[in-house]
Amino acid sequence: MEKSHRKGSRDPAPTRRAVLAGAAATAAAVTIGAEAPLARGQGRKVRLGVVGCGGRGAWIARLFLRHGGYEIAAVADYFQEVADACGDAVGTPAGRRFSGLSGYRRLMESGVEAVALETPPYFFPEHAAAAVEAGLHVYMAKPVAVDAWGCRVIEQAAAKATRAGRVFLVDYQMPTDPGNIEVVRRIRAGEIGKVVMLNSHYFGGQFSDPPLGKTIESRLRHLVWVNDTALGSGYHGNACIHAIHAAMWVAGATPVAVMGVSTRGRPDPHGDTHDLYSITFEYAGGLLHNHRARHLNDRLSGYDFCACLVHGQKGWANVAYNGNATLLTDTDAVKEEVSNLYEAGAVRNIASFHKAVLAGDAANDTVRAAVDSCLATVAAREACLRRTRLTLEQVRRENRRLKVNLTGLRA
């Protein structure tokens, strides 16, 4: 099952930059000592299993291998040919390439000590909980879940990992960028005054959305699943979450309520997800956060944009995935290019994960932000669909679980 390396583009080439955004309140934990990969051969190799070997899964498997501190000891994907292609690329023996819905379990029983989870997010809670139960370290992509129930499962699994001394890292790149880190530091130091409004944006393209088949098998590849709310968390949960995550990082807080509207603008849609959004989050203390998004293959699709503008009483700032990290006041200015962050951020996170595993550092500071931002996007999606204002506490209490029909798939 595939996970993309490229948001908002129909071009699957891994050399093009993805538009992704970062985790909230986790910059220090992710970046200290991880500005570059560890030197090849430094420390022992971690025996890693990669679950989900499509576009992004195979790409990140190669980054783990390039780091030098990992052996890709096993791979798993629903499709055997996808697992084999990844295994060929990273040197995983043929007998340690697993497929089918249960392939992840065979991988976790194969002697690995850590897993990288890169499947459609519907499967993350089940896979992460199983990995922690098996005593493994977990490196996972975003979003951590597609619903409030999944957020709770991830939260509980990560807490269990921490108690057991296991590492649990959620891979966001924006808070690893030195320019973004410096801008957020200055915001926190009060250089633009009190922050009164956040404006986040995610402008990207759409993915192929073919007619539904008798089973969901055809929707497990090539990012088709992003069109499906329950399977892929939709465009909002899978993509917009990055800009919202960045806003929460700046705020150092989680919104308390949300309202908004959304609709479908892509031609001939078959998946149920919306792709156009206008959303307002409310924070305690009066801070407002507006988010807008477009996921259409229009003339803007060649330039995806993910950022958060920060408006203070004495200046403004911008934290970005592409372009520049910026801060401007009457007396000072910061402008730092955010360069190749999709790969550079992943490289830093891979190095951080290796360092934490070898050091037995189970602080797991990325989890809280990952769960909170996921719940925020779930609440926003529901508020748009219900055309009402929802509090995050209400969404937590509802603990709604989305279901995917897996009938007809290979076990």
CATH number (3.40.30.10, 3.90.550.10, 3.40.50.720, 3.30.420.130) of 27-173+344-366 reads: 3.40.50.720
- What is the CA 279 to chain-centroid distance, rounded? 20
The secondary structure of 249-291, three-state, reads HHHCCCCCEEEEEEECCCCCCCCCCCCEEEEEEECCCCCEEEE
How far apart, in whole angstroms, are the C-alpha atoms of residue 349 and residue 305? 22
Q: What is the mean pLDDT of residues 255-272?
A: 97
The CATH T-level fold of domain 177-338+372-398 is: Dihydrodipicolinate Reductase; domain 2 (3.30.360)
Banded pLDDT at 167 (limits 50, 70, 90): very high
Banded pLDDT at 317 (limits 50, 70, 90): very high
Among residues 366, 402, 383, the alpha carbon closest in space to that of 274 is found at 383
Instruction: Kindly report, as residue ranges, where domains of CATH 3.30.360.10 are found in the chain.
Output: 177-338+372-398
Angle between helices 178-188 and 241-251 (to 10 degrees): 40
pLDDT digits (tens, 9 = 90+) for 373-401: 999 999 999 999 999 999 999 999 999 99
Q: What is the mean pLDDT of residues 293-322?
A: 87
How far apart, in whole angstroms, are the C-alpha atoms of residue 227 and residue 210? 10
pLDDT at 187 over 90: yes
Q: For 26-40, 89-103, 262-276, 318-332, which range has the lowest pLDDT when averaged over its residues? A: 26-40
Structure confidence at residue 27 (pLDDT): 37
Instruction: Kindly report, as residue ranges, where domains of CATH 3.40.50.720 are found in the chain.
Output: 27-173+344-366
Structure confidence at residue 316 (pLDDT): 97
Structure confidence at residue 286 (pLDDT): 94
pLDDT digits (tens, 9 = 90+) for 112-157: 999 999 999 999 999 999 999 999 999 999 999 999 999 999 999 9
Structure confidence at residue 303 (pLDDT): 55
| Cut 0.85: pTM above it | yes
Structure confidence at residue 304 (pLDDT): 64
Greatest distance between any 2 Cα atoms in the chain: 64
Banded pLDDT at 258 (limits 50, 70, 90): very high
pLDDT digits (tens, 9 = 90+) for 56-74: 999 999 999 999 999 999 9
Structure confidence at residue 33 (pLDDT): 37
Identify the burial level of 81 via C-beta atoms within 10 angstroms of its C-beta, where 0-12 means exposed, 13-18 middle and 19 or more buried: exposed
